[in-house]
Amino acid sequence: MRNSDMNIQYDAIGGAGLRFFGKVSASIAHELKNVLAIINENAGLLEDLSFAAQRGSAIDPERLNRACRQFTKQINRADGIMKNMSRFAHSVDHFASQVDLHELAGLVANLAGRLAAMKKLAIEVEQPNAPVVFSGNPFLLQNLIWLCLEFAFGATGAGGTLLLTPGKDNTGITLRIGGIDGLDDNFAGRMPAGHEALLAALGAKLSADTTTNELILQLI
């Protein structure tokens, strides 16, 4: 990689990248805090049941089983959150690598899941017929997809579903983000700050198809 190309990538990471890392870290911390709150609540229930048993009261098996199921559910939830966090953290390890676009889009969708839920939106990632492999900086691409989703959250009404569709044709690799019902030709002026630097660093282009309500991210 040439020094000039690396400098462009460092510039993109230094601005939008730090904001992105901070937002994702804060969202992950909030999710883990919710998990701990539910575990703590069920721990309190077990203490109540134990105290009642010590006083000679019968323990309701269903209440006990329900609390145990909640422990298992929240432990599995925390495990999934931590796996996503680990994958996200390691995306800064290399400036250039081969990445499955479906998996990367799925990771960003999971990381943005709490923000989508706050907007009463769902995110789905469509499985392509064949693997779509992106060659480049995975962290910068995650950041760019995140900014596109942030725009989509603000432009889409509650109850909608955003569909991320990786694809490859004779023009190269694309990621389509559909279901944006407030999309218009002036979308670029409403995109979050920093997307231009990311597009330049990745050599990508971003356009809108207002007939299909899709943002189209052209990667190659």
Note the pLDDT tens digit of each residue in 40-50: 998 988 888 88
pLDDT at 95: 81
- In the chain the first and final C-alpha atoms are separated, in Å, by 17
- Whole-Å CA distances, 35 to 46, 68, 106: 17, 14, 22
The domain limits of the chain are: 3-90, 94-218
pLDDT at 52: 81
Q: Span 158-180, mean pLDDT?
A: 94
Global pTM reads: 0.85
What's the CATH fold of domain 94-218? Heat Shock Protein 90 (3.30.565)
- For 83-124, how does the pLDDT look when each residue is reduced to its tens digit (9 = 90+)? 999 999 998 888 888 999 999 999 999 999 999 999 999 999
- For 121-140, how does the pLDDT look when each residue is reduced to its tens digit (9 = 90+)? 999 999 999 999 999 999 99
The C-alpha atoms of residue 12 and residue 104 are separated, in whole angstroms, by: 19
Closest CA to 143 of 5, 15, 1, 6: 15
**pLDDT at residue 9 is higher than 60:** no
Which long-range contacts link 39-44 to residues 24+ away (Cβ below 8 Å)?
39/70, 39/71, 39/74, 39/75, 42/67, 42/70, 42/71, 42/74
CATH class of 3-90: mainly alpha
Q: Span 42-63, mean pLDDT?
A: 84
Mean confidence (pLDDT) of the chain: 89
Q: How far is CA 192 from the centre of its chain?
A: 16
